[in-house]
Structure 1
Amino acid sequence: MKKSSLILMFVLLLAAGVAVGVAATKYVESGGFWQKAILVMTDARCKECRTDQIVDALKRMFPTRQKIKVIDYSTSKDLYKAEGISKLPVALLPKDIKEDKGYEQVKRFARNGKDYIILPTGGDFDPTAEICDNNVDDNNNGLIDCNDPTCKSKWMCMEKREKPSIDLFVMSYCPYGLQILKGFMPVWDAFGNKIDAHVRFVDYAMHGEKEVKENLKQYCIQNLNKDSYKKYLYCFLEDGNQKGDCDEKAGVDKKALETCIKDTDTKFGVTASLNNKEKWMGNFPPFAPDAEMARRFEVKGSPTVIINDVVADDIGRSPNSLKEAICKGFVNPPEECKKEMDKNSPAPGFGLKKSQEGGKGGSGGSCG
């Protein structure tokens, strides 16, 4: 799935900022707050623009510059245009910030604007474009949402179906794949046979031999009996089947599973590829059973959600956000679409626990 995480530069800021902060503590304590404020421009319409992370990174990077103001595009359009900004969120640094030690860490990413130094944050929100799902003519061309031709390639404007298809690509031991599965399971239960849902596996494994074997096992359980697979998955999501009793709890046919694993392994050369590093994809062994679909949709990592044969980016990982995304794929949305579901995103990794509130909390990570 496409993420709204910060670029590597901001990861470096968070780490480097601690060291810079120690050196500048005395200056901060002396009250040296004479500088012009740093601005962070965002847009209230952008669901993925997490300015709190950006502000935190900037405070760590520039500890003597505690005046950081978040501004919105709606009231800053002239500034947006004057500084030649194209994507949000973005940091606007006073030009005298070059005197700060922290600037050395970011100057290679920055560029000079008219009155500010422009520092991208990795955001890709275009405030001048049609948003596609807010019932507003954002770009003032007289066409709203999916009627605007610029929205035709967006997932929210996908083909509607009587029975939407959902293909959820994961790696079985990826903490973020586990996270979205935990968010998806209650949605799958709620819709039942009204959706055509499948868990798929990315065409390479980042978590070693155990992941290759678990992928293969889950691939077979799902193909043998979808109900058994859902029961198995609930058990696996709790602790990774550490007790080894998930098969029994799910009522998995042991003999049929063994036969499927053997046949699938032979057909796709799963173990053979695992044992032959010449066939690996860089540092990772391939996993071929779902590879054809993964390549068709250019799946790069775990998780990736595909609804009605369209990759759905940035849809969140809470049950409610996943439900809302799926409901956009119905010709006639069923009653389940009217029901509110949990808006909390599950925590990454094993354990059926909650994360931050709001549906987007903790939902930016991926494997791959």
Structure 2
Amino acid sequence: MNPNPQRILCLWLCLALALASTAGCGARQRAAQSTPPSASADDASEVELVLFLMARCPHSAKLLRHLLPLQREFGHHLPLSVAFIGTVDDNGRADLAHGEAEIQSAQMLFCAGMASDPTTWLDFMTCLYQDDTWHALPGGWETCAETHRIDTAKTRDCMVDGTGEQHLRQSIETAAAEGIFAAPMLFINGRPHIGTSDPEHLRDAICHAFDSASEKPAPCASATQLPQLLATLLNDSRCADLPACDVHREMNFLQALMPSMQVTALDYATDDGQEMFAQMAAAAMPIHLPVLWLPAALDDLPSARRLLDDSLMRFRDGYLLPLGPGYDPTVEICDNGIDDNGDGLVDCEDPTCAALPICRPPLPERVDLFIMSQCPHGMMMLPFADHFLKHMKGHGTTPAMRVQFIGLEEDGALHSLHGPDEVAENQRMLCVQELYAEGDAFMDYMLCRARNFRSNDWQSCLSATMKPKAITACAEGPRGRELLSASFALADEVGVTGSPTWLINNRQLLDIRSSSALFEAFCAENETAAACETPIRQLLIEKQSPGPGPGPSCR
């Protein structure tokens, strides 16, 4: 998902939300520049950077070490904004992956910025990250502060009086609302930067973003021009509303990976589309759509070529890249009222449609959430599911909520994207769900695991009524395997490939990222549900959530 700059709270470097209470985000606000504004004629020529990071993350430190000198070199042409990632616990306190040291370090960076001007703060950051000084954080920062004349007393006061904590919490909520849960994540003019963080690669990507400028800034003189990629996306307009043909996420990723790619859409129903499809079939290519054709110039982007290599197939004078779960345009389309394949059977009457969600038997007031237990994007949905459940039950409706998992069963073995530990936790969660289904008591365990899903300490998440021996016996025995096998099979049957995905009433597959969007989708399918008469309260963390529609996922 590309963050929409109009929805990102305006950040003053690492001061982030110190200005949010007054500036807001309804209208576009300029991120304060790290160098003083210039009166030159080409002031309009700029590329905006937004960086989501963790102060003590080695990968964030490496990116800062390369990015900060570039920002100074480009000056006012390259305004930089920074925010931190993490979660906010039930008590409203920031919770970051590296613990209290990370929290204190982030607050210190906020507070040092508040005690200085942008240029000074940038010098301070460069001092911290140009070598290994950052390893000692939250200690050792005073030397850099004194070198660059930042008031250390004001910085410490800000760290202890709650000001730094408040701005950190707001920054985390901003990052979460944008679906950013991993660090570092750099956006260049609203598009994620994918690739190495070496200075040359960063310079090339930044300078490419200046392509619309009449004259690029002087630092671009040493940049390498990215090769132009004229690509063709073959899809089927009849499938436009089906999940199998929605490759919005994939195309966003590819556009970020290959910024110079220009895509021409080609419809299967056109003569050119039919010709290309016939050539694919003649060359024994897979006959599923959508598919992206990339020219041989892709070879001039070695990092992208390496990343895509396992999925590319030689075709014409370039490559084919299959996208999405795959759709065969020669078979029946199951919701258009037409006999597409000429067998006399229309839509759901055709046996090829039987497994599709739209043709499944309806299960009113049923909600299935498909996730992976070590996928941050999926686990972040559990608080939204819990909020939705509490609202519905509090107003006279009790949805049948179930958590499902995505994975692969092969040769009798169960596999999940994040490895054996994820398989084990998937089985535990399913066992807890089965053993403590009454009153949705299992949600307490799910919520606790969502707060620290990478930890192996699952027993600390058990409530007083939950019995660890019973859960272990189920999860490590045949029942746990049976439950996960069935869950994987359901995900495969309905065509779920990404965590998170929601299935409403056993028929409607949706990518939903907030409890309010879940409420709307549920009530659209269950109009007579009593609780649908009372609007759901939006959670604070959802205030800027994009709601339904494509978002980041684990696949």
Q: TM-score, structure 1 length as denominator?
A: 0.56
Kept in 2, the 8 Å contact 1:323–1:337? The answer is no
Kept in 2, the 8 Å contact 1:201–1:290? The answer is no
Q: Within 5 A, what are the aligned runs for 1:96-115? A: 97=297, 100-102=300-302, 105=306, 106=308, 109-114=311-316
Can you give the 5+ residue segments of structure 1 that lack an aligned partner in the other structure? 1-12, 242-251, 271-285
2:241 is aligned with 1:45: yes
Q: Offset at 1:70?
A: 3.7
User: Could you tell me which residue of structure 2 aligns to residue 4 of structure 1?
Assistant: none
Counterpart pick for 1:226 among 423, 439, 442: 439
Q: 1:313 to 1:15 in 2, by over 3 A?
A: farther
2:359 is aligned with 1:157: yes
Q: 1:77 to 1:336 in 2, by over 3 A?
A: farther
Equivalent AA in structure 1 for residue 488 of structure 2: E
Q: Give, in whole Å, the separation in 2 of the partners of 1:74 and 1:167.
A: 35
Q: 1:79-112, CA deviations, whole angstroms, 9 ceiling, x for partnerless residues?
A: 44244262233221235x2763548535664334
Kept in 1, the 8 Å contact 2:501–2:511? The answer is no
Q: Give, in whole Å, the separation in 1 of the partners of 2:322 and 2:227.
A: 25
Q: 1:199-234, CA deviations, whole angstroms, 9 ceiling, x for partnerless residues?
A: 46898973699x6998499558834x516555x479
2:195 is aligned with 1:15: yes
2:554 is aligned with 1:365: yes
Q: Secondary structure at the match of 1:293?
A: helix
Kept in 1, the 8 Å contact 2:375–2:554? The answer is no
Q: Offset at 1:295?
A: 2.0
Q: Secondary structure at the match of 2:510?
A: coil
Q: 1:1-22, CA deviations, whole angstroms, 9 ceiling, x for partnerless residues?
A: xxxxxxxxxxxx9436987686
User: Could you tell me which residue of structure 1 aligns to residue 264 of structure 2?
Assistant: 69
Can you give the 5+ residue segments of structure 2 that lack an aligned partner in the other structure? 1-192, 212-219, 281-285, 407-413, 454-461, 492-497
Equivalent AA in structure 1 for residue 361 of structure 2: E
Counterpart pick for 2:511 among 316, 339, 347: 316
Instruction: Using CA pairs under 8 Å that are at least 6 residues apart, name the structure with larger relative contact order, 1 or 2.
Output: 1
Q: Within 5 A, what are the aligned runs for 1:159-308? A: 159-161=361-363, 166=367, 168=369, 174-185=375-386, 187-188=388-389, 189-190=391-392, 195-199=399-403, 206=421, 215=429, 219=433, 222-223=436-437, 225-226=438-439, 232=444, 236=448, 239=451, 254=464, 257=465, 260-262=466-468, 264-265=470-471, 267-268=473-474, 286=476, 290-298=480-488
Question: Between Structure 1 and Structure 2, whose CA radius of gyration is higher?
Answer: 2
Counterpart pick for 1:78 among 274, 278, 285: 274
Q: Offset at 1:352?
A: 4.9
Q: Within 5 A, what are the aligned runs for 1:21-32? A: none
Q: 1:46 to 1:362 in 2, by over 3 A?
A: same
Equivalent AA in structure 2 for residue 197 of structure 1: M
User: Could you tell me which residue of structure 1 aligns to residue 93 of structure 2?
Assistant: none
The alignment yields a C-alpha RMSD, in angstroms, of: 5.5
Q: TM-score, structure 2 length as denominator?
A: 0.41
Q: Offset at 1:335?
A: 1.5
Equivalent AA in structure 2 for residue 77 of structure 1: G
Kept in 2, the 8 Å contact 1:218–1:229? The answer is yes
User: What is the percentage of aligned positions where both structures have the same residue?
Assistant: 21
